[in-house]
Amino acid sequence: MTTYTAPVEDMMFLYEKLRNDKNYNEIEKYKDVTPDLVKNILEEAAKINQNLILPLAKAGDENPAILENGVVRTPPGYKEAYKKFIEDGWTSLSCDPKYGGQGMPRTVSAFFDEMISSASLAFKLYSELTLGAYNCIHHHATDEIKDKYLPRMVEGKWSGTMCLTEPVCGTDLGLLKTKAVEQPDGTFKITGQKIFITSGDHDLTENIIHLVIARASDSPKGTKGISLFLVPKFIVKDDGTIGGRNGISTGSIESKMGIKGSATCVLNFDDATGFMIGPKNKGLSQMFTMMNLERIVVGIQGLGISEIAYQNSLSYAKERKQGKSNKNKSQNGNADLIIEHADIRKSLLNMKSIIEGERALCFWLSQQTEVSLNHKDQKIKQEATDMVSLMTPVVKSLFSDLGMEITSDAMQIYGGYGYTKDQGIEQLYRDNRITPIYEGTNSVQAIDLVFRKLINKNGDIIGKYISMIKNDLNSKNDKLKPFEEKLKTYIEKLDLFSNWMKDKILNSKDDANAASNDYLRVLGYVAIGYSWLKVLEVSYKDYSNNKDFYEDKIQTANFYFNRVLPRVESHYLSATTGSKYIMDYKFN
């Protein structure tokens, strides 16, 4: 079984030293969120994740959620853990105090997301979709609906889902068949089938609030005719109490490769009563409020699983003896610890440099997200929104893809033991494998980045991002200059690649499509490098205050700049060969 220690020290380093965004610090409602308060929250979060939730990972994998006589039953221990989880207020951490939330910023809640992803992703998913549904309702529903549903969702007594996918459509939601027929009282009868619904049914909460996209009878075909509906598992009476069962049933639970403790359901809607959220035919844009948040959270899932994979690999490498290193520190000709071997050390440093760089990038993105939602200046809000829009597909895709690389390397470090179930490493690989797939596959994210995010109605977004980095590469610290010079080299490569992509978007969409994944990775590696540069600025400035911590940061960054960042060159050279030889190939 895996072990886990929440990286509170590294999280607090980011919160105390990199929370230096002027626009973020101008948000009035977070002025009282002090480092002492955050440290207390993270230390309590560490306890519940390490002691209560971590054991659920193995339990859920060995005893998956089941459908029994029409009732979905979660794995052993889930109900007791969930009860404690909501009693301690973890579902309310980032929610609006108006509805019972604690009002913490994403700069704090993102750390908790990472911790619980490390501890048990399957368990996390029961509350994660609730927060996504909460955000969608909070942004788009009427006050009457908010007052009726949000307090119980914030409390965790009711959960939420996102119902998009159907047998006939995954990403292409314009093909959906689910129908919504308006009733005389203004409600709608929803009929159709949704598949792959995470936490679609379970026994943890009193009610489940489904957000369902469907097409009203008089709506046009395609995505322009999609509306969003709130469809509760149990009808909620006017006084807020639960009434009879709505027309929703669970057809089956998917038998999955990983996250087996999470119930991924086929849901049948048979004249289920639903309430329209927002204007008719605007459902897709409303649902994207939930989806865009979830995409960032999926990236954090990849980060969390990478962290626990790294921790266990490091621990194993310090205990396992095999072969002789060049330094040969063994006694009497015996084998050395595998951590003495250069290749193992390289793998561990690769994991560590990526994880810590991702965490720093995610923290920067959390600040931008809060500015985009809460700053008083509309121009500043829009600029932050553009940065969040640009980085959302990068964080979702790169973090989840690198999670596959890291969990695979972890299994390799363990050798044959990693391939067996006893150690828990192969489960991390299986659990993470869904992250590059759900909430829009990573190829879809890459295409979205290239065709919608580089340039949009607000101008040349990627150009603004590149200029922002270039303007920061002017440190007077001689120790930083070698890192800046390396980053300048790859910023220029990103700039060239961006211009190539802009041309291909207009003149050869096949070339742009074929290069999209490479482009996303180039942007991602540069963004992580930029985040590392910010960490290095603090590390050199405050070095004497905590030499061991900052020396570790400097050496880890050194590995990233020398061993990981150069991947940019390979992706650029490969992608810019074009697509003709791909599209002209004749498959038999």
| 216 part of a folded domain | no
Distance CA 148, CA 138 (A): 12
Task: Give the pLDDT band (50/70/90) at residue 346.
Answer: very high
* DSSP bridge pairs for 253: 265
Across the range 512-519, mean pLDDT stands at 98
Phi, psi of 366 (to 5 degrees): -60, -40
- Token look-up 């969120």 returns 33
pLDDT of res. 286: 84
Can you count the helices (H) and strands (E) in the chain? Answer: 20, 13
Helix intervals (H) in 120-165: 121-140, 143-155
Q: Burial letters for 302-333: b for 16+ Cβ neighbours within 10 Å, e otherwise?
A: bbbbbbbbbbbbbebbeebeeeebeeeeeeee
DSSP 52: I
The catalytic position among 439, 485, 492, 551 is 439
Distances (CA, A) of 3 to 52, 85, 311, 492: 12, 20, 8, 42
Phi, psi of 478 (to 5 degrees): -60, -30
Distance CA 528, CA 357 (A): 5
3-state secondary structure of 460: strand
Determine contact, residues 579/511, Cβ cutoff 8 Å.
yes
Residues written for the chain: 588
| HEC per residue, 380-412 | HHHHHHHHHHHHHHHHHHHHHHHHHHHHHHHHH
Determine contact, residues 312/439, Cβ cutoff 8 Å.
no
Q: Which amino acid is at 409?
A: D
Distance CA 199, CA 450 (A): 32
Residues in CB range of 491: below 8 A, 6 or more apart:
466, 469, 470, 473, 526
Q: How many domains does the chain have?
A: 1
* Sign of the CA dihedral with 546 first, then 551, 556, and 560 last: positive
18, 126, 144, 117: which is closest to 77 by C-alpha?
Answer: 126
Determine contact, residues 250/72, Cβ cutoff 8 Å.
yes
Across the range 518-543, mean pLDDT stands at 97
Residues in CB range of 416: below 8 A, 6 or more apart:
none
Task: Give the pLDDT band (50/70/90) at residue 325.
Answer: confident
DSSP 560: I
Question: Is pLDDT above 70 for 330?
Answer: no
Question: Is pLDDT above 90 for 241?
Answer: yes
* DSSP bridge pairs for 277: 228
pLDDT of res. 331: 64
| 460 part of a folded domain | yes
Task: Give the pLDDT band (50/70/90) at residue 154.
Answer: very high
Question: Is pLDDT above 90 for 141?
Answer: yes
Distance CA 377, CA 535 (A): 28
Distance CA 262, CA 90 (A): 18
Phi, psi of 543 (to 5 degrees): -50, -45
| 329 part of a folded domain | no
Determine contact, residues 522/501, Cβ cutoff 8 Å.
no
User: What tokens does 503 get?
Assistant: 């041309």
Task: Give the pLDDT band (50/70/90) at residue 76.
Answer: very high
| 234 part of a folded domain | no
Question: Is pLDDT above 90 for 212?
Answer: yes
Question: Is pLDDT above 90 for 172?
Answer: no
Question: Is pLDDT above 80 for 288?
Answer: no
The string of pLDDT tens digits covering residues 114-136 is 999 999 999 999 999 999 999 99
User: What tokens does 256 get?
Assistant: 């999955």
- Token look-up 């991947």 returns 567
Residues in CB range of 409: below 8 A, 6 or more apart:
309, 313, 347, 350, 351
Task: Give the pLDDT band (50/70/90) at residue 2.
Answer: very high
Task: Give the pLDDT band (50/70/90) at residue 332.
Answer: low
pLDDT of res. 222: 87
Q: Burial letters for 147-166: b for 16+ Cβ neighbours within 10 Å, e otherwise?
A: ebbbbbbbbbebbbbbbbbb
What integer best gives the mean pLDDT of the chain? 95
Indicate the range of 76-80, 127-131, 293-297, 329-333 predicted with least confidence: 329-333
11, 76, 90: which is closest to 48 by C-alpha?
Answer: 90
Known catalytic residue at 484: no
| 528 part of a folded domain | yes
| 349 part of a folded domain | no
| 194 part of a folded domain | no
Determine contact, residues 509/551, Cβ cutoff 8 Å.
no
Distance CA 579, CA 588 (A): 19
State how beta strands 234-236 and 242-245 pair: antiparallel
> What is the domain extent for residue 564?
441-588
Q: Which amino acid is at 243?
A: G
Longest dimension (CA), the chain: 88
Distance CA 361, CA 534 (A): 10
Q: What is the pTM of this model?
A: 0.96
Q: Which amino acid is at 132?
A: G
Distances (CA, A) of 431 to 60, 171, 400, 426, 436: 11, 22, 11, 9, 11
6, 49, 5, 23: which is closest to 105 by C-alpha?
Answer: 23
pLDDT of res. 149: 98
Question: Is pLDDT above 90 for 371?
Answer: yes
| HEC per residue, 498-562 | HHHHHHHHHHCHHHHHHHHHHHHHHHHHHHHHHHHHHHHHHHHHCHHHCHHHHHHHHHHHHHHHH
pLDDT of res. 435: 97
SS3 content of the chain, % helix, strand, coil (to 5): 60, 15, 25
Across the range 427-433, mean pLDDT stands at 98
pLDDT of res. 456: 84
| 299 part of a folded domain | no
239, 237, 232, 244: which is closest to 205 by C-alpha?
Answer: 232
